[in-house]
């Protein structure tokens, strides 16, 4: 945490002043909610960075490589000219009027 404050060249007095300003702006009732939200945000950020790091490590590691499954090649259906009909053409079978007993 000291490197964070050193990055901005903040001393103890400046940090106390900033915390006092935050207390004045947001009030004592909102500070626990803000701290909780900030903590959850940091937790989610760390989790996401850890998952990305693990994913990169797994992709670099060749021992965990699994080949993708082979693709299925479907053969095209072949239709003969005798069985093909133009669209919209209906064939009706004539019914005989003779009655067989």
Exposed, middle or buried by CB within 10 Å (0-12, 13-18, 19+), for 46?
Answer: exposed
Which tops the pLDDT comparison, 5 or 12? 12
Mean pLDDT across 97-101: 60
Question: Residue 39 CA to chain centroid, in angstroms?
Answer: 24
pTM of the prediction?
0.42
- Cα–Cα distance between 22 and 15 in angstroms, integer? 11
The model's pLDDT over 11-43, given as tens digits with 9 standing for 90+, comes to 888 888 988 888 888 888 888 888 899 999 999
């Amino acid at each position: 945490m000291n490197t964070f404050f050193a990055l901005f060249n903040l001393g103890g007095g400046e940090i106390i002043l900033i915390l006092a300003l935050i207390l004045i702006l947001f009030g004592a009732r909102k500070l626990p909610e803000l701290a909780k939200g900030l903590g959850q945000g940091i937790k989610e950020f760390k989790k996401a960075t850890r998952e990305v790091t693990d994913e990169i490590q797994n992709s670099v590691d060749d021992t965990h490589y699994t080949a993708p499954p082979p693709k299925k090649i479907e053969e095209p259906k072949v239709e003969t000219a005798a069985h093909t009909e133009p669209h919209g053409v209906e064939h009706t079978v004539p019914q005989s009027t003779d009655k067989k007993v």
